Copies of this chain bind each other. A is one copy, B any other.
Amino acid sequence: MKVNIHEVCPRDGFQSMPAFDKDTKVKIINRLVKCGFHELEVTSFVSPRAVPQLKDADEVISEIDRSQPVTLRALVPNERGLERAHALGIKKLKLMLSGSDSHSLYNANATTFDALERYRSVVKKATTYNINMTGSIAVAFGCPYEGDLPVKRHEEICDKYEQLGITKVSLADTTGMGNPHNVSKILRHLMKSFPHFTFTIHLHNTRGMAFANALAALEEGVKDFDSSTGGIGGCPYAPNASGNIATEDLVHGFEEMGIDTGVNLDRVLDVARYLEDIFPDQVDSFLLKAGKAKSLHKAPGRQRIK
């Protein structure tokens, strides 16, 4: 079995850390492009006022290594962002959308459907630029203000996406409220109602269930998984949000189970250690602490205490 890993550290991670210099960003991304990811979310072309950590997105993208066989994608909130991405030759963009109105109002200053409607012109122009668009549904497996979203809500959002010509949607467990039961339930429903869609899943390990949720999604047929090297990243507009599932933990878990990720785990761990050196308080993953299950130790012999 084969899955696709989408690395989001340069967007989801960088935006949740204190701002740091462009050259370091380029260095990190240039290591990530060589890890064997299916896609790499390199930045978000948002207003520097909203996310000052990514204000140098254009310079960063213009300097990174573009020679590797990984699809670069970015987030855009509006036409201005689209133009910036287009100028830099990014061919895959993702729209951010909250599944609940209360999260959307705080995150995007508009209800879910108002925010979606505002994307109409962005998507139209992207088509003329031959840019591949992906939708998303944040708080898909639980909103910190509203609780569980009824699956009817996901369906309505997917319907609207389809009307815009979008059939790729990322479902995010933004504040880690999901559990394998509701992940399965929602995906089973959506895969049946929208069999021509491709769903990506974006997990946070807030309550220790991220890997179990990934397996539940896999079981329902999802093949595309977001993760962040070093586990960095969260949601600036969600209370108690903790880090994304760490790429090294997700890849290690899958590979231990015999599921092919195409990712070079040792390279990912090298990047994670590099990140840890720079941001010791932001990086957190199981693999960084414990090492791979396959890395055995020398047997110590008989017990010292007799």
Inter-subunit contact B212/A290 (CB<8 Å):
no
> What residue of chain B has the Cβ atom nearest to residue A145's Cβ?
B299
Chain B residues whose CB sits within 8 angstroms of the CB of A144 once the complex forms: 296-297
Quick one: CB contact mask for A280-306 with B, threshold 8 Å, 1 for yes? Answer: 000001110111011011111111011
Chain B minimum-CB-distance residue to A51: B305
Interface residue A260 (Cβ < 8 Å from any Cβ of B) = no
Indicate whether A69 reaches chain B with its CB closer than 8 angstroms. Answer: no
| Known contacts A208-B249, A209-B253, A299-B145: A289-B109 contact under CB 8 Å | no
User: Is A207 a contact partner of B290 (Cβ separation < 8 A)?
Assistant: yes
Contact yes or no, B212 A293, CB < 8 A? no
A215 close to B (CB within 8 Å): yes
- Give chain B residues whose Cβ lies under 8 Å from the Cβ of A210: 208
List the B side residues contacting A146 at CB < 8 Å. 296, 299
**Complex: A289 Cα to B50 Cα, angstroms:** 27
Q: Are A290 and B253 in contact (CB under 8 A)?
A: no
For A28, what are the chain B residues with a Cβ–Cβ distance below 8 Å? none
Contact B179 A302 (CB under 8 A): no
A279 located at the interface, meaning its Cβ lies under 8 Å from any Cβ of chain B in the complex: no
Contact A253 B207 (CB under 8 A): yes
Q: A106 contacts which chain B residues (CB < 8 A)?
A: 299-303
A97 CB to nearest B CB, Å: 14
A181:B258 contact, CB within 8 angstroms: yes
Q: How large, as a class, is the contact surface on chain A?
A: 35 or more
Question: Can you identify 13 A-B contacts, CB atoms within 8 angstroms?
Answer: A50-B305, A102-B299, A105-B302, A106-B303, A109-B303, A176-B290, A205-B286, A207-B293, A208-B210, A208-B246, A211-B212, A212-B253, A239-B297
Given contacts A105-B301, A106-B302, A303-B106, contact A253 B289 (CB under 8 A): no
Tell me which residues across on chain B come within 8 A of A289, comparing CB atoms.
240, 242
State A146–B208 Cα separation when bound (angstroms): 28
By Cβ-Cβ distance, the 3 closest A-B pairs, closest first, are A102-B299, A145-B299, A212-B212
Question: Once the chains are docked, how many angstroms separate the CA of A215 from the CA of B208?
Answer: 13
Is A142's beta carbon under 8 Å from chain B?
Answer: yes
- Measured CB to CB, the closest approach of chain B to A164, in angstroms, equals 23
